[in-house]
Amino acid sequence: MKTTSPKSWVHFACWRGSFNSIIRSNRVIGIKRERSFIKHGLNANAAHTVQKMFMRLPWSILPDDAVIGYLGGDAFLVLLVQSDDQGVPVLDVFAKDLIQKVSQSYFVDGLTLDIGCSIGVAMYPEFGTDAVTLIKNADMAVYQAKTAGRATYHFYDGDMGRRFARNVRIETRLRLALQSGNLELHFQPKVDLTTERCVGMEALLRWNDEELGMVSPAEFVPIAEQTGIILPLGDWVFEQAFRHILEWQAQGITVPPIAINCSAAQLKRIDFLPKLLALLDKYQVDPSLLEIEVTESILIEDAERCAELLRQLSRLGMKLAIDDFGTGYSSLGYLKDLPFHYVKIDQVFIRNIIEDKKHAALTHAIISLSHDLGLKVIAEGITDIHQLIMLQDFGCDIGQGYLFSKALGANSMGSDPMIVALNEQGSED
């Protein structure tokens, strides 16, 4: 470990390299910490391999007077000493640079290790005057960085302790909820904008916790993703959706295609497809009744494997939608090369479509382009009739939003007017 004495002020930057998809052989996938890396039964040289890889990390980009410490697991600590005229902008550049340089594949002892990196920064003296406090706060900032989507950095701020405590509480309660059955799936209708008939439903998680009250999936899904709970949670969502489909069919209800949101971590699982096929078989659900919604983050992280999986799903008859389109990279390449059937325009565009000409222009452009590529467009978050009329003028195919219906409990399906109309239409055909 290099050592130095502080000059004028000090930052602690604690970073954790994430072992993303290490070594597909040896039964090890998606490892985050060295500890699990070894525990999962790699040979005795594993620790040595990891050590060798650490040596290859680009430490040389750190200033000469930086202190580097190994905290155990996949965590490192960097102590940077900077002069008073440097500040957050300098650290910004530094953190971005470090993430970019560290995040690459390392070939060690015949194995390819894909390493990612998230950074948390705690400033001295504002957020700690001793090492223990600074490291604890930097650790919270790392947690925040990971929740925000990994390969990113976060500065500790005074409020983070409270947020961290809530996140930990949500994590604990969510694990319990999965076992105790406090979770539910609700279903939001999707409506054909020409015929105004229901053409599908999106399954959305609902969680009413005894202690925390209603917790929005917008809050707990990212925590589930960050902690790995998303894997059993995702399994639960599929199984629960299939159960509901069977129940509705048993009640004589015409079930439209059900869309399931899938997080990147779920699709990255090597056993995602076999598990899904086993479930379809167990419940005898026709794959054409299933739609999968993914956000583009998966396509950025693991494009090739993901593309192959999407093709397999599509060949089985499932429809695929790219969710929240327009907010991230919105790469047109995905639309051209991957077997998507639907583009879901993010609700931020729809929310402002009347007031903001640019949002209207972008929405129009996404619709035209998607149509040119043979894709249908779904607009999310339609709340008023003016938005609906504009979207109809733009030729948007399908809509979803409170104007039509909120997500409904599974028991409301038999009495919901849209589903009733769908059944009447079915009997007329």
Structure letter (DSSP) for residue 343: E
Contact between 296 and Mg ion (CB under 5 A)? no
**Nearer residue to Mg ion within complex by CB, 34 or 225:** 225
* Residue 204 lies near ligand C2E (rule: CB under 6 A): yes
Classified as helix, coil or strand, 345 is strand
Beta-carbon count within 10 A of 264 CB: 20
Choice between 217 and 414, CB closer to ligand C2E: 217
First to last CA, the chain: 76
| 8 Å CB contact between 266 and 231 | yes
Distance CA 429, CA 194 (A): 18
Task: Choose the contact partner of 407 out of Mg ion, ligand C2E, none; CB within 5 to 8 A by kind.
Answer: ligand C2E
Residue 261 touching ligand C2E (CB under 6 A): yes
Of residues 145 and 237, the one with the C-beta less far from Mg ion: 237
293 in contact with Mg ion (CB under 5 A): yes
Q: What are the two backbone dihedrals, phi and then psi, of residue 420, each rounded to the nearest 5 degrees? A: -60, -45
Q: Residue 139 or residue 293: which is nearer to Mg ion going by CB? A: 293
Between the CA of residue 204 and those of 216, 360, 410, what are the distances in Å?
10, 27, 11
| Binding of residue 301 to ligand C2E (CB under 6 A) | no
Q: Is 402 in the site for ligand C2E (CB under 6 A)?
A: yes
**Counting contacts by CB under 6 A, is residue 83 touching ligand C2E?**
no
Q: Give me the residue label for tokens 């399994």.
A: 235
Among 301, 324, 397, 416, which residue interacts with Mg ion (rule: CB under 5 A)? 324
State the Cα–Cα distance between residues 137 and 120, nearest whole angstrom: 8
Query: If contact means CB under 5 to 8 A according to the sort of partner, which of ligand C2E, Mg ion, none does residue 265 touch?
Result: none
Residues 352-381 that bind Mg ion (CB under 5 A): 380
Element of type H or E holding 364? helix 357-372
The angle formed by the CA atoms of residues 232, 412 and 170, to the nearest 5 degrees, is 35
Position 385 contacts ligand C2E (CB under 6 A) = no
Nearer to ligand C2E, 98 or 198 (CB): 198
Residue 323 is a binding residue for Mg ion (CB under 5 A): yes
* Count of other CB atoms within 10 angstroms of residue 124: 19
* Binding residues vs ligand C2E (CB under 6 A): 188, 203-205, 216-218, 221, 237, 261-263, 293, 323-324, 347, 380-381, 383, 400-402, 407
Residues that bind Mg ion (CB under 5 A): 261, 293, 323-324, 380
